[in-house]
Chains A and B, each alone.
Chain A
Amino acid sequence: MSNDKLRVPTMGQCMAEGKQPEILFWVGSAGSFDDRAKKITRAFVKILNKANVDFAVLGTEESCTGDVAKRAGNEFLFQMQALMNIEVLNGYGIKKIVTCDPHSYNCLKNEYPGLGGNYEVVHHTQFIQDLINSEKLNVSGSLYKGKRITFHDPCYLGRANNEYNAPREVLKNTDADIVEMKRHKQTALCCGAGGAQMFKEPEKGDKDINVLRTEDALSTKPNIIATGCPYCITMMTDGVKNKEKEDTVKVMDIAEIIATAEEL
């Protein structure tokens, strides 16, 4: 990977220069702070830079969407976060948002409109697919030739919002063999992190959900488990470690796969 400096303008800077970027990149808390998720954020920005996308981030003006509080049952905290964020977003006149986190995506797309935040929201896999379709981005590398990739559907992208194709279409642009798990698309099993489970110990049971899901994935004999959610990445990575397969099976986000295919 080259180490060219990322170009990441903030909305504040754009405003000072009198510019209105086409799209806001909502980084999300995981994408900002989680060490593993930050790599996804950087990979996606490399793609945005490469395709010369006119974007900006909120930077320090961004705050948690409140999604995780809402799922935990704290509607109060969710609405405080949402109303604060909506003030910032509307203040900048944001029309379109892209995010790498399906939970932010779902929340911004479905739950913010009722509180006065109306934006066109896309998930980064949908955005990358658009870049490829409109030939703003070419994926030509043969880095993944002969590799087996299985895609784990994030619940909040798949079942929650019916997007099963975009990530698969993007993957088709690599030379990899796409293999499906038995449970995929509508019947995909959760990684175990949703509904605020990411932040607590699981309830008593006989197995961890991420281990069960990793078994689903490993049964396809993959070289790479791909997904499109920072929480899924954490859960699946832990699952692969639990199965002691971390030397042979990588867990990667779609953005990382595309960025490395293009040697960005």
Chain B
Amino acid sequence: MEYLSNILFAIVLVAGIGFFTKNVLRLSRNIKLGRDVDVSDNKSQRWKNMAKIALGQTKMVVRPVAGFLHIIVYVGFIIINLEVLEIIIDGLFGTHRIFALLGSVYNLLIGSFEILAVLVIVAVVIFWIRRNVIRIKRFINPEMKGWPKNDGNIILYIELVLMTLFLTMNAADYQLQLLDAPHYTKAGAFPASQFIASLFSDMSISSLIILERTAWWLHIIGILCFLNYLYYSKHLHILLAFPNTYYGSVEPKGKLNNLEAITKEVKLMMDPSADPFAAPTEDASVPEKFGASDVKDLSWVQLLNAYTCTECGRCTSSCPANLTGKKLSPRKIMMDTRDRLEEVGKNIDANKGVFVDDGKQLLGDYITNEELWACTTCNACVEECPVSISPLSIIQDMRRYLVMEQSAAPVELNNMMSNIENNGAPWPYNQMDRLNWVEE
């Protein structure tokens, strides 16, 4: 019986991590539905980008208030999780505060965790106020109604509860240490929770132990639940920001990829010795689809982008189309891509690993032509994104599909393009008049 709690803990831990692993596998399966793309270049630049942008949060602080608060929560999250390691060891082996043997270093650690926990609570409260009281515009755009709004708040509530449990646990522990309770090693510094502990001064050792154990269990169960909540939430960015900044573009933002499949076709067309009536060779493959109408036409990096998006809306708040009341919202492009990808993933799960056509696609059912044609390709969204997402690349690939597979460009653009085809300029002027400006 004495090992009951250890066994129980091991079960909870294995279940939590096991379920999380299952979600990670599903996530990676879905991302791999995208087209392959070679990102093996510029390794050192990519590592630097990850270190600077994800680890160093350089893009976050461009907006100083949100950036500063975010750094508190981010640092708090990473550092306080050192504590989780101790909890896991204690839980599995029935020890208590195993790292206490570090002596004064331990006191310093626990002390700084406590201060960070308080700062995180403050930051989380301010975040909640920004979303729900001040109602900053980027948090209340149309695409933020319903689940995205609740998701944002749920994350804040979970963080608040976890930090409160952490402090309560420490406060009860501190009080037990003061009462010389057996098993409660005198260790740690409690700059914050000592004030909570004073509330517990009338409690008996046995009720304090119940309180401490309850907070301890709820804290670790809460963390495991949060871990498993990630897959269903925009909060996935805490993990995916790292690979996403690594695989993000290392080219100038203005560079749009040249489609290789088209280069082949155009070169063939311009080759005077090519026989236009030649029968296709035996091994000729079906021509690649031009552009993207569904998630499988996008590259896996674009799909990773979609899962990484945390819906902060900095892109949308700087998008010239969105600022002038057009339907386009770069954030919605990312959210739609993720929603559709999830739908495709569930379809595959429900049909024993094969996708069964559901008569839907990203284009039309999620993203409309009107949104795509409102984009000025100005790169403001790409510049803004704190985790190197490019909504623009998805917009461009979908335009390519509209124009090259469906001939569905707005009529003025068709005129412009036939001008280029006929006279080498987007306007209907003769190429022979190109030098007239010299004499005017």
Using CB atoms and an 8 Å cutoff, list the residues of chain A in contact with chain B: 6, 8, 10, 27, 29, 31-34, 38, 41-42, 45, 57, 59-60, 62-64, 66, 68-77, 79-81, 83-84, 106, 109-111, 114-115, 155-156, 159-162, 186-187, 189-190, 192-209, 212-213
Question: Cβ of B420 and Cβ of A77 under 8 Å apart?
Answer: yes
Does B416 reach chain A (CB closer than 8 Å)? yes
> What is the CA–CA distance of A87 and B234 in the complex, to the nearest angstrom?
49
> What is the CA–CA distance of A6 and B437 in the complex, to the nearest angstrom?
10
Which chain B residue lies CB-closest to A57?
Answer: B435
Q: Determine the chain A residues whose CB is within 8 A of the CB of B396 once the complex forms.
A: 71, 73
Does B417 reach chain A (CB closer than 8 Å)? yes
Question: Cβ of A70 and Cβ of B256 under 8 Å apart?
Answer: yes
Does B358 reach chain A (CB closer than 8 Å)? no
Which chain B residues in 360-414 approach chain A with CB under 8 Å?
370, 373-380, 382-383, 396, 399-404, 409-410, 412-413
Closest approach, in angstroms, between the C-beta of A118 and any C-beta of chain B? 14
Question: Cβ of A73 and Cβ of B380 under 8 Å apart?
Answer: no
Question: Cβ of A212 and Cβ of B403 under 8 Å apart?
Answer: no
Q: Determine the chain A residues whose CB is within 8 A of the CB of B380 once the complex forms.
A: 155, 159, 187, 189-190
Question: Cβ of B432 and Cβ of A60 under 8 Å apart?
Answer: yes
Question: Cβ of A33 and Cβ of B377 under 8 Å apart?
Answer: no
Q: Determine the chain B residues whose CB is within 8 A of the CB of A8 once the complex forms.
A: 435, 438
Does B328 reach chain A (CB closer than 8 Å)? yes
Q: Determine the chain A residues whose CB is within 8 A of the CB of B262 once the complex forms.
A: 75-76, 79
Which chain B residue lies CB-closest to A157?
Answer: B254
> What is the CA–CA distance of A160 and B254 in the complex, to the nearest angstrom?
4
> What is the CA–CA distance of A11 and B425 in the complex, to the nearest angstrom?
20
Question: Cβ of A72 and Cβ of B417 under 8 Å apart?
Answer: yes
Question: Cβ of A83 and Cβ of B270 under 8 Å apart?
Answer: yes
Does B429 reach chain A (CB closer than 8 Å)? yes
Out of B254, B370, B438, which one reaches A203, CB within 8 Å?
B370
Q: Determine the chain A residues whose CB is within 8 A of the CB of B409 once the complex forms.
A: 72-74
Which chain A residue lies CB-closest to B408?
Answer: A73
Question: Cβ of B400 and Cβ of A75 under 8 Å apart?
Answer: yes
Question: Cβ of B434 and Cβ of A209 under 8 Å apart?
Answer: no
Out of A6, A66, A109, which one reaches B420, CB within 8 Å?
A66
- Number of B residues with CB within 8 Å of any CB on chain A: 68
Question: Cβ of B253 and Cβ of A160 under 8 Å apart?
Answer: yes
Q: Determine the chain A residues whose CB is within 8 A of the CB of B403 once the complex forms.
A: 72-74
Given contacts A33-B427, A64-B425, A192-B320, contact A106 B420 (CB under 8 A): no
Q: Determine the chain B residues whose CB is within 8 A of the CB of A190 once the complex forms.
A: 320, 376, 378, 380
> What is the CA–CA distance of A204 and B324 in the complex, to the nearest angstrom?
9
Out of B253, B400, B429, B434, which one reaches A73, CB within 8 Å?
B400
Closest approach, in angstroms, between the C-beta of B238 and any C-beta of chain A? 25
Q: Determine the chain B residues whose CB is within 8 A of the CB of A187 once the complex forms.
A: 318, 380, 383
Does B426 reach chain A (CB closer than 8 Å)? yes
Does B14 reach chain A (CB closer than 8 Å)? no
Out of A155, A189, A194, which one reaches B323, CB within 8 Å?
A189
Out of B374, B404, B436, which one reaches A75, CB within 8 Å?
B404
Does B421 reach chain A (CB closer than 8 Å)? yes
Mark B311-342 against chain A: 1 for CB-CB distance below 8 A, else 0. 00000001011011111100000000000000
Given contacts A29-B427, A66-B420, A203-B326, contact A193 B376 (CB under 8 A): yes
Out of B255, B413, B436, which one reaches A110, CB within 8 Å?
B255
Q: Determine the chain B residues whose CB is within 8 A of the CB of A83 once the complex forms.
A: 266-267, 270
Which chain B residue lies CB-closest to A66?
Answer: B420
Question: Cβ of A206 and Cβ of B383 under 8 Å apart?
Answer: no
> What is the CA–CA distance of A77 and B422 in the complex, to the nearest angstrom?
11
- Other 10 A-B pairs with CB < 8 A, given A29-B424, A72-B413, A202-B374: A29-B427, A59-B435, A60-B435, A63-B425, A69-B416, A69-B417, A71-B256, A109-B252, A159-B253, A159-B383
Which chain B residues in 70-91 approach chain A with CB under 8 Å?
none
Question: Cβ of B258 and Cβ of A115 under 8 Å apart?
Answer: yes
> What is the CA–CA distance of A38 and B255 in the complex, to the nearest angstrom?
27
Question: Cβ of B435 and Cβ of A32 under 8 Å apart?
Answer: yes
Closest approach, in angstroms, between the C-beta of A37 and any C-beta of chain B? 9
> What is the CA–CA distance of A79 and B263 in the complex, to the nearest angstrom?
7
Can you give 9 A-B contacts (C-beta < 8 A)?
A70-B256, A73-B399, A75-B291, A76-B290, A77-B420, A110-B255, A161-B253, A190-B320, A200-B412
Out of A29, A74, A79, A204, which one reaches B425, CB within 8 Å?
A29
Given contacts A38-B440, A72-B403, A205-B326, contact A64 B420 (CB under 8 A): yes
Which of B269, B401, B426 gathers most chain A CB within 10 Å? B426
Question: Cβ of A200 and Cβ of B373 under 8 Å apart?
Answer: yes
Q: Determine the chain A residues whose CB is within 8 A of the CB of B417 once the complex forms.
A: 69, 72, 74, 77
Q: Determine the chain A residues whose CB is within 8 A of the CB of B400 once the complex forms.
A: 73-75
Does B133 reach chain A (CB closer than 8 Å)? no
Question: Cβ of A72 and Cβ of B266 under 8 Å apart?
Answer: no
> What is the CA–CA distance of A194 and B326 in the complex, to the nearest angstrom?
15
Q: Determine the chain B residues whose CB is within 8 A of the CB of A213 once the complex forms.
A: 320
Given contacts A80-B269, A190-B380, contact A63 B424 (CB under 8 A): yes
Q: Determine the chain A residues whose CB is within 8 A of the CB of B440 once the complex forms.
A: 38, 42
Closest approach, in angstroms, between the C-beta of B160 and any C-beta of chain A? 33
Question: Cβ of A64 and Cβ of B424 under 8 Å apart?
Answer: yes
Question: Cβ of A155 and Cβ of B376 under 8 Å apart?
Answer: yes
Question: Cβ of A195 and Cβ of B269 under 8 Å apart?
Answer: no
> What is the CA–CA distance of A79 and B403 in the complex, to the nearest angstrom?
14
Question: Cβ of A110 and Cβ of B254 under 8 Å apart?
Answer: yes
> What is the CA–CA distance of A114 and B432 in the complex, to the nearest angstrom?
29
Q: Determine the chain B residues whose CB is within 8 A of the CB of A209 once the complex forms.
A: 320-321, 323-324, 376
Does B265 reach chain A (CB closer than 8 Å)? yes
Q: Determine the chain B residues whose CB is within 8 A of the CB of A189 once the complex forms.
A: 318, 320, 323, 378, 380
Q: Determine the chain B residues whose CB is within 8 A of the CB of A64 once the complex forms.
A: 420, 424-426
Which chain B residue lies CB-closest to A183?
Answer: B318
Question: Cβ of B432 and Cβ of A195 under 8 Å apart?
Answer: no
Q: Determine the chain A residues whose CB is within 8 A of the CB of B429 once the complex forms.
A: 32-33
Which chain A residue lies CB-closest to B269?
Answer: A80
Does B431 reach chain A (CB closer than 8 Å)? yes
Closest approach, in angstroms, between the C-beta of B50 and any C-beta of chain A? 20
